[in-house]
Chain A
Amino acid sequence: MHPHPHWIDYSVIGIYFTFILGIGFVLKKYMKTSTDFFLSGRSIPAWITGLAFLSANLGAQEVIGMGASGAKYGIMTSHFYWVGAIPAMIFVGIFMMPFYYGSRARSVPEYLKLRFDEKTRGLNAISFATMTVFSSGVSMYAMGKLMQLLLGWNFNASILLAALIVLGYTALGGLTSAIYNEVLQFFLIVLGFIPLTFLGLRDVGGWSGLKARIGNDAMVHSWKYLGHSNANPMGVEWFGMLMGLGFVLSFGYWCTDFLVVQRAMAADSMTSARRTPLIAAFPKMLFPFLVILPGMIAGVVAANSMSGGASAGTPAKAGSAVVSQATAGGGISLEGGKGIIPAKLDGSGKPLIKDGKTVLDYDLATPMMLVRYFPSGLLGLGLCALMASFMSGMDGNTTAFNAVWTYDIYQGYINKNASDQHYLWMGRVATVFGLLAAVAAAYIAREFNNIMDVLQLVFAFVNAPLFATFLLGMFWKRATGHGAFCGLIGGTAAAALHHGLTLPAGSVVGVKGGFLGLVVQRYPSEMAQNFWTAIFAWTTCFTVTIVVSLLTKPRPDAELKGLVYALTDKPKDMGLSWYQKPVVLAVVVLTAMVVLNWIFW
């Protein structure tokens, strides 16, 4: 199956690129101060920051990764949304935004400096800046690899094109450009994937048809099989899932990652800032239907159906060799694959076998769905949506990097007292070298197969403890800078220790774990191991921070006003109709989330 995009598809893509660059050009003249460039002058309405908040998070991980997880694990993947995001989004909106926005911090590390001290800020700034550049690079690599595999586009050209476009609009229009384009990207992704889900579901006979074809009850329930780790394909049980994913990992990301928090900081008022994550939560709840279902469908449909929908009757069984006709320029063979998900190929181009079973390339589930169901025309739209998801992740990384570099690292350590115009200039320059570094990271990712796993690891090591630090910092005035710093180091060390002493089933010692020489615990799956690493990291950071804080001198209350819960006036939501108040929104979101979990129990 090798799709040949026609002029119409390229036109659609070309129009999209023109618009996103155009938006950057138009916004350039509004970028007069560094606050304009890095924080959009704190003037963006809530519905825009809300959609941008969500869109920046989307990236490659969501659209491709969730499709892959859907194909592999079924509807349990929804936990990444309904358990692993919504509660955290509500928490950050209601309880943490008052501090982020009210403290007038210009970045997350800057909040840490205001609340704790310089060394805590430095640790966070440097680790975040490095990781966000790598993350951008991995997005680029994933995109380049996908376009090459799917369409035969040149890898280098795709990366260069993506980097240049993102560079163009972020260097010109700063955060506002990124935010506006993210809203555009959001609608593109939604409008691109609704027809895909519609066609896919129609082909398999709706949700009941899909359930019948999949044939594995554990793949179509989200909670029922969480009692024991060997009852479900993900290999996790409910406690590890709730604490590891639902609490530590998700709160660690949504509450502390500057990539998303930056969008809320750009809002035009405190109320808007608090509503931003809540507004984002609404579409977030519905995304599983757009990104997980196509992945699930991919595993049970056949390639090119005969005219008249004859595919409707025959479920494709696992392992059936649906070999495609090889097209002139090579293509994707479905030999050894499942449904329309191809097998992973080894060096010689043959399907990769591990433990007697063919290894499937799950990342291709969603792209293959696009190719299978979209004729030329809509194919252009679908490819656009795919690229938009990569680029919205990339521009989020870029703007977050710019701000942290300029405000926290450059102004913090290198050049403390330059003019505002100088920092504005620095921000533009940082966009260039930040993206260059990301491109380099993309090539590194290509060289070292394990880089994505390493990056995941590093994220878990660094992010998991971070939430403990913020929680204590915002709600316990006794927490001190020494406590926070030691807690972060301790938490990261605990994560590394846990990972080094455990191994998931079916993995060899190395990046996947056990590198400290002794395997104390074997986990049924990588995901279970990740969740528990996160739990250990968080708990260690929490405990160490408390202990060290109690042993060191705290700052006087007067200095912490506006930075800690007990010392800040509660925000008053005056002049808002009842349905606009943040707390009301939160209750609605929570109720909807419970209902969704109930339906897919």
Chain B
Amino acid sequence: MGFDIRLPIGIMFSVFGVLVGGYGAATWGNEMYARHSLGIDINLWWGIAMLVFGAGMLLLARRGRAVARAANKNVKAVQ
């Protein structure tokens, strides 16, 4: 019922990916990475990972909508 949940999931994680990844890119080499995440710019890498995940979700959501639209068309054609 309602809408496809993959849509808000995809959007939210894409936003997170851009936000955190962008911040990671902007703070490249900052000492906090040495202090916390073993010198790895984890914001950048995980931001990219989240963006990929979010995009994947959106793609799945789009495919789901296309399938539903095709199914609807078939139903209408039969009627």
Chain A residues in the interface with B (C-beta under 8 A) = 8, 11-12, 15-16, 19, 22-23, 26-27, 30, 36, 40-41, 43-44, 48, 173, 176, 180, 183-184, 187, 191, 195, 199, 202-203, 304-305, 307-309, 372-378, 380-381
Report the separation of the CA atoms of residues A231 and B71 in the bound assembly, to the nearest whole angstrom: 61
Q: Does A307 lie within 8 Å of B20, measured CB to CB?
A: no
Report the separation of the CA atoms of residues A41 and B1 in the bound assembly, to the nearest whole angstrom: 8
> In this complex, which of A16, A40, A184, A375 has the most chain B Cβ atoms within 10 angstroms of its Cβ?
A375
Report the separation of the CA atoms of residues A304 and B35 in the bound assembly, to the nearest whole angstrom: 6
Chain B residues in the interface with A (C-beta under 8 A) = 1-3, 5, 8-9, 11-13, 15-16, 19-20, 23-24, 27, 30-40, 42-43, 46-47, 49-50, 53
Q: Does A373 lie within 8 Å of B36, measured CB to CB?
A: yes
Q: Does A374 lie within 8 Å of B38, measured CB to CB?
A: no
Q: Does B9 lie within 8 Å of A375, measured CB to CB?
A: no
Q: Does B46 lie within 8 Å of A375, measured CB to CB?
A: no
The residue of chain B having its C-beta at the shortest distance from the C-beta of A186 within the complex is B9
Report the separation of the CA atoms of residues A44 and B43 in the bound assembly, to the nearest whole angstrom: 35
Q: How far is the CB of B47 from chain A (nearest CB, A)?
A: 8
Q: Does A305 lie within 8 Å of B35, measured CB to CB?
A: yes
Q: How far is the CB of B29 from chain A (nearest CB, A)?
A: 11
The residue of chain B having its C-beta at the shortest distance from the C-beta of A376 within the complex is B32
Q: How far is the CB of A155 from chain B (nearest CB, A)?
A: 27
The residue of chain B having its C-beta at the shortest distance from the C-beta of A41 within the complex is B1
Known: A375-B33, A378-B20. A191 touches B50 (CB 8 A): yes
Q: How far is the CB of B78 from chain A (nearest CB, A)?
A: 19
Q: Does A176 lie within 8 Å of B2, measured CB to CB?
A: yes
Given contact pairs A36-B1, A191-B49, A372-B36, a sample of 13 additional A-B residue pairs in the complex whose CB atoms are under 8 Å apart: A8-B19, A15-B15, A176-B2, A187-B53, A191-B53, A195-B46, A199-B38, A199-B40, A377-B23, A377-B27, A378-B37, A378-B43, A381-B16
Q: Does A30 lie within 8 Å of B12, measured CB to CB?
A: no
Candidates A11, A26, A374; contact of B36 at CB < 8 Å: A374
Residues of A within 8 A of B49 (CB): 191
Known: A30-B2, A184-B9. A377 touches B38 (CB 8 A): no
Candidates A8, A309, A380, A381; contact of B38 at CB < 8 Å: A309
Report the separation of the CA atoms of residues A184 and B54 in the bound assembly, to the nearest whole angstrom: 11
